[in-house]
Amino acid sequence: MFDILKTRIQQKHRTIRWPDGPAPDLPARFAGRPVVRSGACAAGCRICANACPVGAITAGGASGPGIDTGKCLFCRACESACPYGAICFGKEYRLAATRREDLVVGAGSPDPAGALCERAAKLFGRSLKLRQVSAGGCNACEADSNVLGTLAWDMGRFGIQFVASPRHADGLLITGPVTRNMHLALRKTYEAVPDPKVVIAVGACAIAGGPYADHPEQHNGAASVVPVDLYVPGCPPHPLTILDALLRFLGRV
């Protein structure tokens, strides 16, 4: 026992200091919010749109393309394909939005930080219990959500926790494209959550079907089954992106 206590003292502070301190370092391969450079795109060019595997890009003429980050897999195929350097993926981890249309990024798009939901902040700002539903996901978004309960991230310090039963939850955190076999299960889980409740869609699959969009065995995301209050883009979203989304949603940062 004394050896355990000694080791713990030597380890010192293990939980990240963000948001009171600097955000943790992001890996070099991290692809954050895309940046579209106004005027860099050639009029009528569709090279980036043709390179996108999920149809997330709408060609916009000389003003540049529009990128739907709700569909985007952040694979950077468009960035690599564009000969004009009109698109690049930066390190901005703030990606979430409360409105689906706000996930579309173009030249001159506003700051992405405004994901506040006044109703959620008032009701759940000090305590939010979520039931996580994997509606046919590949386990990437699930893993990056679950890691928030570990010692380093410790979302419980903000009063946010995952619970085992929807009857004990304030809302759902949904991952996956909602496969046909999960459609009824998701609906019943949503109905089991007492009112008032919130729904959070995490990842490209839960927002728009991801790489499986329009496949007959899935439903193109959570919004086809339940009302969604917060969208968190990514494939998968970084844990920092998810935690930032939750805290901004609740008005905590």
pLDDT of residue 55: 92
> With pLDDT > 90 as the criterion, what percentage of the chain qualifies?
69
Return the structure tokens found at 8. 């713990």
Q: Are 174 and 141 in contact (CB under 8 A)?
A: no
H or E, element range at 57: strand 57-58
Q: Report pLDDT digits (tens) over 201-217.
A: 999 999 999 999 999 99
pLDDT of residue 37: 84
pLDDT of residue 121: 85
pTM over 0.75? The answer is yes
In the chain, list all ranges with CATH 3.40.50.12280.
118-249
pLDDT at 197 over 90: yes
For 118-249, give the CATH class: alpha beta
> With pLDDT > 70 as the criterion, what percentage of the chain qualifies?
93
Q: How many whole angstroms separate alpha carbon 235 and alpha carbon 95?
A: 12
From residue 174, how far is each of 131, 186, 188 by CA, in Å? Answer: 8, 9, 13
Which CATH code fits 34-93? 3.30.70.3270
Q: How many whole angstroms separate alpha carbon 7 and alpha carbon 127?
A: 32
Q: Report pLDDT digits (tens) over 63-77.
A: 678 899 999 999 999
Q: Are 202 and 161 in contact (CB under 8 A)?
A: no
Q: What is the mean pLDDT of the chain?
A: 90
Q: Are 114 and 96 in contact (CB under 8 A)?
A: no
Is residue 104 classed as helix, strand or coil in its secondary structure? strand
Q: How many whole angstroms separate alpha carbon 16 and alpha carbon 13?
A: 8
Q: Report pLDDT digits (tens) over 166-187.
A: 999 999 999 999 999 999 999 9
pLDDT of residue 115: 64
Q: Report pLDDT digits (tens) over 83-133.
A: 888 899 999 999 999 999 999 988 777 766 666 778 888 889 899 999 999
pLDDT of residue 59: 76
Phi/psi at 224 (nearest 5 deg)?
A: -75, -15
From residue 195, how far is each of 68, 163, 168, 171, 223 by CA, in Å? Answer: 31, 16, 11, 9, 18
In the chain, list all ranges with CATH 3.30.70.3270.
34-93
Phi/psi at 251 (nearest 5 deg)?
A: 70, 30
Return the structure tokens found at 7. 């080791």
Q: Report pLDDT digits (tens) over 44-56.
A: 678 888 999 999 9
Distance of CA 145 to the CA centre of its chain: 10
Q: How many whole angstroms separate alpha carbon 207 and alpha carbon 221?
A: 5
